[in-house]
A and B are shown apart, each in its own frame.
Chain A
Amino acid sequence: MTQADVRVLVTIGMLVAYGLIMPTLGFFATSALFLLLHMLYLGIRGPVWLASPIILLLGTAWALFERFLGVPLPHGLIY
């Protein structure tokens, strides 16, 4: 098993955890947590690269789905 295989398996594990936690914690909190941890795990460093996907992606998703389209995403304990 190569290091790449390990990273694939850990990613699958993190996605499973995402699916288990999302209904209770809500889409936005879980996604922010996943993005941060997954990027850190893959060796992404530097505040710009770590913060911009979270802000851009979740910001756009919020504006688009919650405001513009009126398709509510699952909310939970934290938003």
Chain B
Amino acid sequence: MTEILLDSAWLAFEPVNLLLVFVGAVLGTLFGATPGISATLTIALMVPVTFGMTPVHGLSFLGGAYCGAIYGGSISSILINVPGTPAAVATMMDGYELTKKGRAGFALGGAITASFFGGQIGTIVLLVAAPLVAAAALNIRSAEFFWIVVFAMSTVGAIGGGSVTKGLISAFIGLILGTVGTHPFTGSLRFTFGVQGLYEGFPVIVGIVGLFSISQVLYLCHGKGMDKQIDIPTVGSLWPGWVEIMKVKATYIRSAIIGTFVGVLPGAGADIASFIGRNEAHRFSRNPDEYGKGSYEAVVGSEAANNAVVGGSLVPMLTLGIPGNAVSAALIGGLLIHGMLPGPRLFTDQAHIIYPFILSLFAANLFFALAAFGGLKYLAKVVLIPQGVLASAVAILSVLGAYSYRNMIDDLWIMLFLGIVGYVLRRTGFPLAPIILGIILGPLAETNLERVMTIANARGMTLMGYFMSNTLTIVLMVMSIAALIYSVVREIRHQRSGKALMPLETD
């Protein structure tokens, strides 16, 4: 184990790799800071760039972009009261209040230090937990794996904001889209309508580019003309000082842990983590009255949580192939173009790629922090780009992303189709992350279920009888049902109390 880590450190921290991580982190920060471009979009648009790189270089570059994009959202939240990414909505409430008091630098410094700290904690957990989960996952059999997938899908509505019903409907739409393509056992074609590009099912990266980027392009077209004059406030000193940091050290640590945990859960991402991080900080705070009026602690509470999500979300993605949120679903695209399938085997067969990637995340967190401390004035300039320019540019970037994946013109039409579907669903309040989860997990669930049915048949057992013959399967079944009941109860309680659920956007 130590040998692998030492070898991996050489690969992760060699100059070229560090340079790529740096470029990824800075580009990610820029994209994240741009209102209208989320972390998911950032990764989806950058995956094709990694085509010609070695797997380690490509993944490290994308990892840098992931960390940078989640952090970058806070820049525009704090400076101009517009969230750069959905993950930075919670930061806006107190960050912008501080800016109004002329303390923008203080808030920005809090966001940088908290994002750095949260990111590193998440990465440490990833480095420790992922190999253990992967080792355990090697022994998982089809029946258990099927129920793990069902459990993952059933947690979609358990935490977070939007309506549980709509979340679950989205998940089912995703599962239905996941049935398109070649049947895993019989090889017959399903729902392809003669489109060659659909023979292998909806390609993940094209699906993400369509659902997230094209729907975002259409959203960006709502406005017209040049934006009103935006003034970037003066920033001042960014370093908050050890005294301020130590005063709220408990918040740094608590939110980092919350973020990591939320990251692991499928269907909940950085946007939800930052709200929970802020709420918990508020609950434990010695100065709860300051919240909403410009609290440094609140900024730390949300920002440490959202960057901790990065490490957490990669645990189930790398070890089981179950993405912890939409961004890590887009990262699966980065694995697939190098011919790597996420799952426990990555940690044995491709350890020389996965460990350098994980280690490079430590550098990524350092680099976005350094870039922000050194050049925030210049990074912040991206908020001046008019929406119309963004809309057109993201459209062309999406075409590049979708087309270069397989060099198929069909993918352009698949992208456009899913983009329109995504736009309509978003306008009617359906979350998009469960759809992409369904597209990825549907085929996984089906393959395993088919296998279980074959085995059960051969043993002369009914399917349910076979499921009931295994304790772990029963536990997973109970957990899935519990997650669903909990979600429904939570929604009913929220409806009765008439309180608005936290705003939910796709991250």
- List residues of A whose CB falls within 8 A of some B CB: 3-4, 7-8, 11-12, 15-16, 18-19, 22-23, 27, 31, 34-35, 38-39, 42-46, 49, 53, 57-58, 61, 64-65, 68-71, 73-74
B138 within 8 A of A: no
Contact in complex: B52, A69 (CB < 8 Å)? yes
A-B contact pairs, 27 of them (CB 8 A): A7-B224, A8-B218, A11-B221, A12-B218, A15-B416, A19-B409, A27-B403, A31-B396, A34-B392, A34-B396, A35-B392, A39-B389, A39-B392, A42-B221, A42-B223, A42-B224, A42-B225, A43-B225, A44-B225, A45-B226, A46-B226, A49-B226, A53-B392, A65-B400, A68-B52, A71-B51, A73-B404
Q: How far is the CB of A72 from chain B (nearest CB, A)?
A: 8
List the count of A-B residue pairs having beta carbons below 8 Å apart. Answer: 100
Q: What distance in Å separates the Cβ of A21 from its nearest Cβ neighbour in chain B?
A: 11
B470 to chain A minimum Cβ distance, whole angstroms, is 47
Q: Please determine whether B388 and A42 come into contact, CB atoms closer than 8 angstroms.
A: yes
Across-interface contacts of A19 in B (CB, < 8 A):
409, 412-413, 416
Closest Cβ of chain A: how far from B344's Cβ, in Å?
Answer: 31
The answer to whether B409 and A23 have CB atoms under 8 Å apart is yes
Q: How far is the CA of A71 from the CA of B47 in the complex (A)?
A: 13
Known: A22-B412, A43-B225, A65-B400. 6 other contacts (CB 8 A): A8-B221, A12-B218, A35-B392, A42-B224, A44-B226, A65-B48
CB neighbours of B222 from chain A (8 A): 4, 7-8
Q: What separation, in Å, do the CA atoms of A74 and B404 have in the docked complex?
A: 10
Interface residues of B (CB under 8 A from A): 48-49, 51-52, 214, 217-218, 221-226, 386-389, 391-393, 395-397, 399-400, 403-404, 407, 409, 412-413, 416, 419-420, 423
Contact assessment for B226 and A57 in the assembled complex, using a CB-CB cutoff below 8 Å: no
**Chain A neighbourhood of B388, CB < 8 A:** 38-39, 42-44
Q: Which residue of B lies closest to A31 (CB)?
A: B396
Q: Out of A4, A46, A70, name the residue touching B52 (CB < 8 Å).
A: A70
Closest chain A residue to B385, Cβ basis: A49
Determine the distance from Cα of A18 to Cα of B397 in the docked complex, in whole angstroms.
Answer: 13
B400: chain A residues within 8 A (beta carbon):
61, 65, 73
Do A53 and B393 touch across chains, with their CB atoms under 8 A apart? yes
